[in-house]
Amino acid sequence: MAEQQTFFERVRPHLGWLVLLVAVAASLWPIRNDLARYLGHVGFQPHAPDWALAADLPLKVQVHIVAALAALAIGTIILFQPKGGRFHKTLGWAWVVAMGVTAVSSLFITGINGDTWSFIHLLSGWTIIGLPMAVYAIRNRKVQAHQRAMTGMFVGGLIVAGALTFIPGRFFYAFFFG
């Protein structure tokens, strides 16, 4: 059984990202008024989510979004919990299923490049191959390989790919800002 860690011990590996986020926010603070004026000029208007847009999406896209949001929520919880225990394993399997559904469902979604796959679909292939490899790694007690693979899929497959959905012209941009 894994030894219990304090909250600080669990969060400490992620403090670098927090420092980076604070540094970026602090560096943008002096020009916040200019940024707000520019964003208003280009039509950036944050508003409450437009749920009618979500209801009009095809089922395959709705499944993809729900699975991705579930994987994001579960993955975030896993990051800050002790590793190796029953709770971690149970949430881990739920995360694997959610990521699998997210990756496979994305293969049925095209539109950025007409009716063909786009560059972002490489992340889906990476996830479809990487998930079983990460499970295999932990079953063979290769903890570091498991940790690197799962963290890489969380960051690349959810954080980076999720950030790309906020580009103007994509669904989440219209949902929140358009």
Average pLDDT, the chain: 88
pLDDT tens per residue, range 13-38: 777 877 888 888 899 888 888 888 88
- pLDDT score, position 113: 64
Q: How confident is the model at residue 9 (pLDDT cuts 50, 70, 90)?
A: confident
Residue 133 has pLDDT above 90, yes or no: yes
At residue 115, the 3 state secondary structure works out as coil
- The CA-based angle 7-8-12, given to 5 degrees, is 125
Residue 72 has pLDDT above 60, yes or no: yes
Residue 3 has pLDDT above 70, yes or no: no
Domain extents in the chain: 45-176
- pLDDT score, position 34: 87
Residues 6+ apart with CB under 8 A from 104: 124, 128
**Cα 121 from chain centre:** 14
Tokens of 161: 């790919």
What gap in Å lies between CA 76 and CA 158, rounded to an integer?
10
Nearest one of 40, 61, 46 to 174, comparing CA atoms: 46
At residue 46, the 3 state secondary structure works out as coil
